[in-house]
Each structure stands twice: as C-alpha cells, then as structure tokens.
Structure 1
C-alpha cells in the first residue's frame, strides 16, 4: 500500500485525470438518466468544463479557480442547477489555498462562502422548510468548501515552514563550510610561516657547515667529511620540509618578524606557563627519546599548546591535565587529556583549534583523534612519524 501511495504521489496528473473521468462519467449518467427528455446541453457543458478544471487544478490552480468562478456565474445566469460537478469545487478551493497566490486563496474562501448562498437563493423551492432550516442547509453546504480551504491553507503554511527550514539549513551549512575553509586557510598560512623558519634554519646550518668544510679541507679531512655528512642529512630534511611547504604555501606578502620556533625541548617551559595561569598539568615521557624532525617537534608543541588552551577554556573549574609523550621507535605518540567537563562543555561552534591540529598532523602523514575520553574529560591523541619520508 505504501508503494502504491508513493507511486500515485509521483503522478498527480494521472490521479486528477482519473477523478475528472469519474466525475464526467457519473455526471453524464445523472444528466441523461435522471432528467427525461432531450439532453440538458448547458448542464453537459458545465459538467465537461468542470471536469477539465479538475484535471488542471494542480498544474495551474489559479487558472482553475478563475475557470470555476466563470462556470459558477454561467450556471447562475443560465439557470443550470448544480449537479455532481459541484463535487469538484472543494478540490479547486483546496488547490487555490495551497498553491495559488494569496489573493487567489482569499478569493477561493470568499467564493466558497458565497456559492452556497447564491445556489440557495437561486434554486431553493421548498416552501415547507422555514428560515432556520434554510440557514442550516446553507451552512451545511459551506462546510466542505471551508474545510477544504483550511486544509489547503495549512498545507501552504507547512510547506513554507519546511522551505524556511531547508533554506536556513543550507545557509548554516554554507556558513560552516566557509568558516572551515577560512580556518584551514589561516592555519595553512601559519604553518607556512613556521616551516619557513625551519627550512631557513636548515639552510643556515648547511651554509655554516659548508664554510667550515672549505676551511678544514686541507688541514683536517675528518672534520671535512663530518661537515659534509651534516650538510647531506640537513639538506635532505630541508628538501622534505620544502616539499610539504609547497602544499600549503600561499602567495602573499609576509611582513611578520620570524622568530625561532619551539619544539619538544620547550614543552617544560610551556607547561610552567600553563601552571602559572592556574591549570595543574603533568608531563610524562615514555620510551627512549629520539631526535624529531623540526617540523614534527613544532607540531607536537603546537598541539600541546592548543589542547591545553582548550582545557583552560572549556574544562571547567578544578580541572587537571596530563600530557603523555611516547616514543615508539619510528613514531611518536602524543596524548593530552583532562578530567574536565568533556562533551558537556559549552563550545563556541567554531572549532578552529581542532581544524589547525588536523591540518598540522595531516601534513606529516600522521593521525589525529579528538573527543570525549571514556572516563570523562576530553582527549587529544596524535600519532606522528619521527622523521617523515622525503616525499611526504
């Protein structure tokens, strides 16, 4: 039954055509059988016209309403008493109220009220019924018109409400995407500036080592060989950083003053500043520490910085934080958690900090997980390669 209903909803013209055909068939039967003598041609004309109007009521409800009014006036002036074709009028009133402009909807309501009054005044011929009965009968005839109009107007209101909700949802989605793009673009620009410092440092090291190698070439070959090895490893690292940089670098004029960027060695200084701001935080290091590439070390520092900033903003009173740094051979795992409000914490709806973390981690081929911790609070976990591949 549900499939049949859905199939019929997709074919409104077929449904209206079936109703129009039934109305025409039974109307002709009424005219020919119930009225002896020659066929009532004006009645058949009104019947055929009303059947046609019923067929087009959803395609052009305003035209259907105007045609119905014309047919009603024709019946009044040509003394064509209403028959089964009058059954189509409530459907026309519904369509006008649901799909036509406001003026047409109001016209349909007025017509639905006046049509029974006009019919009673024009064709009522029962003197045995008092005025009360006539009024009651007139109100009874108005009922289907008014009910159909109310249903159609309710459909119009509900459709307008749904359209407003859809439009609002589309606007919010576009705004969210724009905010995410702006946040990602800003974070890429910041990453590009930071990596500029890292690459510049590597190139500076290469220049210094090359000058030293040239000075010691004749007198200390071993020092020259060691300097060349340093130049080789530093150049590879700088090349890898440059390749990653090209993916996020934006063509814009930079006027900021570049400063040395922090790394893992500066985590204790960062935590001291966080503690002085009123957030108790501990640092745990597990595994055998190894030297991280400068880009990865900077990413670790920035993730810790942003995660603790979020803890201070959203963790609530008396919150504590823990930073765990695990060295896993070729990878380093960073875990920043707190015992604050977690998912119950109020947010500002922007999420730019999380966007920035994701951009940083993705650039080095790592993995980032953020969300409420199983035991309560909030957790940020990142897995980064110690030394990303040159092609990363």
Structure 2
C-alpha cells in the first residue's frame, strides 16, 4: 500500500483522536455545540417546514415551537441521563404525533437511544422502545388509517438500527478495554517474573559465592595457622603451608573469575561458562585441600563413582564442601571428620560427620539454607544435627540417581 493511500486514513485517525481528546477534556463544550446545532435545526423546521409532513397543518405555531424545544434542548444531558432525556422527548413526541404535527425533530430521540444502548443495561432498551413506539403507534392509528403499519414499521426499523449500532460500539469498546487490561496485566506479570528471576539469580550467585569464598578462606585460615606454628620448628612445613595457601588462593580466584564471567558474558553466548562445575571426581582434591588445612578427614568413596547428572554431582560436591567448611570453623581443635558416599539402588547417600563440639554460632549462617536449597532442586533431602552421643555433628544428604532439577538451575548448565 502506497503512502498516498495511507495518508488520508492516517489524517482521519489523527482527527478522530483529537476530537475524542477534546471531548474527554471538555465534554460540556461538545454537548453544548451539538445541542445548539439541533435546536437551531428544530426551530428552523418549526418556522414552517413542519407543515410539509404534518397530518394536521392547523396545529398552533406556539405549540410547535414548544415541542421543538422539548425535542432538542434535553439533548445536552443525553450522555449523563439518557433514559430521563428520552422520557422527556417521548412525551413531546407523543403530543406531536397525537396532535398531527408529526415534527421531524422527533427523530432526535435516536441520540439518547444510542447512549442507552451504549452505556446502560440491556433491559433499559425494552423500556426505551416502549417510550419510542407509543407515540408512533398513537399517531399512526389516528391519522394513517389502514396504512398505519407502514409508518410504525419504518420507525421501528430505524430505532432498531440505532440500538444495534450502540450495542456494536459498546461491544467493540468493551473488547478494546479488555485487550488493554489484558496487556496491562501481562506487563505486570512480566515485570514480576523478571523480578523473581533476578531474585533467584541473586540467590544462586550468593550461594555460589558463599560456597567458594567460605570454603577457600577456611582452608587458607587453617593453613596459615598451621604454618605459623610450624615456622619456628620446621621451616620446610611452613613453606609447604605457604605453597598450599597459594594453590588454594589461585583456585579460589579461578572459580570466582568463572562465576563473575557469567555476569559479564552475553546471555546467549554458547561458550560462556554458567558457573563453576565441580563433579564427584573432584571430591579427592577437595578432601586433600581440607587435610592440608589441618583437619584429618577419613573418606569412603565407592569405585566407580555412582552416575549422577552434572547438577546433582555439583550438589553433592557443594554439600560436602560446606560441611567440611563448617567443621573447620566450628568443630574446634583436635576434631576429625569422615566423609562417606554410598550408592543405593535408586539414590546416593552422602554422610559427613565430625568429632568436634559445635560452637554456639554453628548453623546460623547461610550454609545450611544453601545446602537444603541445593538438595531440593534435585528432589533430595538433607538432614543435619548433632550426633546421638552429643559429641560431633552430622550432615546426611540423600539424592535420587535419576533426579532432574525442579526448575532449571543455572549451575546445572555446562
């Protein structure tokens, strides 16, 4: 379609939009102008033109003027009180038809009828048609004789057309309002989903940062404490501790770089690493690092390792990591730890226990909450608490071997 053919429609749309805006801003101005226009037209007809269609041209001119004003002036309130306006105009139309004047201004009743169909309940239309047809039938029976039905039928079809037009406009307006409301609700829901996704992503990043920084800093703290005591008696042991601190620090920095790379990489970048992705095969290096930090750890890992989805393997790794980190921080001196992984028929059972005495602040941070959230993502269960003997702490994780994430977590992406 060319620009020449679309320009008139665009101008018409702009004109209609401006008229509607002006009407919404100053409704009294539009109502007053329309009423004045029709009043002038009715008075012009009352000056003599009404006799062209009158059944009784001898009707007094004063009555004709009064009826013309009664059929035009009430239009000013047609949008606010269309039923009342129609009742006043119908009374004037009844006198016009019964007297034989048959004023054409009676057709102005179509305007309040249109607004009744547009804004009022459908049952109001029944009363409106009663008000409209009583004068018409009265005049037709009195003056038209055997052809009365022609006058009644033509008036009825005209009023029905106006009512159907009002119903059509009303239906379209309601449909448009429904679409606007639906679009608004969809926009609100989209904003809520964006906020929920952002909150979920913040929680995921906070959980990863807690696991990475908390564990590595605990290991570095243990190595530093051990190196300080060994520095006086065994410089070689102190040097080994410093080497281990450097190795652990570099690993922590690498993992942090990979995690922060998710924030800077484009969302659709296929090669962007979504998160650090340790697996069950990395448990040995994790346990070795904890041993270097000064915590004796006994491990019982099956060979071969049980098959788990990558996200579930990350969950097991993080739970073991967080449990050993809590042991380093809270179990006290002289504590030992044990890590046991058992492959059951349809699940993997992981148990991490220690022989220390938990401090009063153990279990009050984000670690246990993060472990439970990770387990819940893969339909797993996590129980933790003191051992029955009262000396030591135990964490038990059970995760199904065929587990799938409840909602696709970001750290399950390769």
TM-score by length of 1: 0.52
Residue 160 of structure 1 corresponds to 174
Residue 321 of structure 1 corresponds to none
Alpha-carbon distance, 1:70 to partner: 4.0
Task: Find out whether 1:27 has 2:42 as its counterpart.
Answer: yes
Residue 203 of structure 2 corresponds to 189
**1:225-284 Cα distance to aligned partner (Å, 9 max, x none):** 77568658849969x97xx99xxxxxxxxxxxxxxx9625669999x7569xxxxxxxxx
Cα 1:64/1:230, change in 2 over 3 Å: farther
Alpha-carbon distance, 1:201 to partner: 0.6
Q: Is the 8 A contact 2:141 2:148 kept in 1?
A: no
Task: Find out whether 1:6 has 2:26 as its counterpart.
Answer: no
Question: How many aligned residue pairs are there?
Answer: 261
Residue 141 of structure 1 corresponds to 155
Partner of 1:58: helix, strand, or coil?
A: coil
**1:288-308 Cα distance to aligned partner (Å, 9 max, x none):** xxxxxxxxxxxxxxxxxx9xx
**Where does structure 1 lack aligned partners over 5 or more consecutive residues?**
246-260, 276-305, 310-350, 361-379, 383-392
Q: Is the 8 A contact 1:65 1:92 kept in 2?
A: yes
Q: Counterparts of 1:273-352 in structure 2 under 5 Å?
A: 273=308
Residue 100 of structure 1 corresponds to 120
Alpha-carbon distance, 1:184 to partner: 4.2
Q: Is the 8 A contact 1:96 1:104 kept in 2?
A: yes
**Where does structure 2 lack aligned partners over 5 or more consecutive residues?**
1-10, 52-56, 261-274, 283-303, 311-376, 379-405
Q: Is the 8 A contact 1:31 1:39 kept in 2?
A: no
Cα 1:139/1:11, change in 2 over 3 Å: farther
Residue 257 of structure 1 corresponds to none
Partner of 2:102: helix, strand, or coil?
A: coil
Task: Find out whether 1:67 has 2:123 as its counterpart.
Answer: no
RMSD of the alignment, in Å? Answer: 4.5
Q: Counterparts of 1:1-392 in structure 2 under 5 Å?
A: 1-2=11-12, 3-12=14-23, 13=27, 14-34=29-49, 40-73=61-94, 75=96, 79=99, 81-122=101-142, 124=143, 131=146, 133-220=147-234, 224=238, 227=241, 234=249, 263=277, 273=308, 353=408, 357=410
Q: Is the 8 A contact 2:96 2:103 kept in 1?
A: no
Distance (whole Å) between structure 2 residues aligned to residue 227 and residue 44 of structure 1: 112
Distance (whole Å) between structure 2 residues aligned to residue 267 and residue 228 of structure 1: 26
Alpha-carbon distance, 1:146 to partner: 1.0
Cα 1:95/1:235, change in 2 over 3 Å: same
Cα 1:263/1:23, change in 2 over 3 Å: closer
Distance (whole Å) between structure 2 residues aligned to residue 52 and residue 230 of structure 1: 97
Alpha-carbon distance, 1:37 to partner: 9.6
Alpha-carbon distance, 1:189 to partner: 3.5
Cα 1:110/1:172, change in 2 over 3 Å: farther
Alpha-carbon distance, 1:96 to partner: 0.9
Cα 1:161/1:4, change in 2 over 3 Å: closer
Partner of 2:47: helix, strand, or coil?
A: helix
**1:46-91 Cα distance to aligned partner (Å, 9 max, x none):** 32233223233234434433333343355467x3733132131112
Distance (whole Å) between structure 2 residues aligned to residue 45 and residue 144 of structure 1: 25
Cα 1:266/1:81, change in 2 over 3 Å: farther
TM-score by length of 2: 0.50
Alpha-carbon distance, 1:152 to partner: 0.6
Alpha-carbon distance, 1:186 to partner: 4.2
**1:105-150 Cα distance to aligned partner (Å, 9 max, x none):** 332234344442233234x2x56xxx2x331232112221110011
Cα 1:116/1:39, change in 2 over 3 Å: closer
Alpha-carbon distance, 1:151 to partner: 0.8
Distance (whole Å) between structure 2 residues aligned to residue 80 and residue 230 of structure 1: 114
- Which range is displaced more, 200-209 or 6-15? 6-15
Larger Rg: 2
Partner of 1:89: helix, strand, or coil?
A: helix
Cα 1:274/1:218, change in 2 over 3 Å: closer
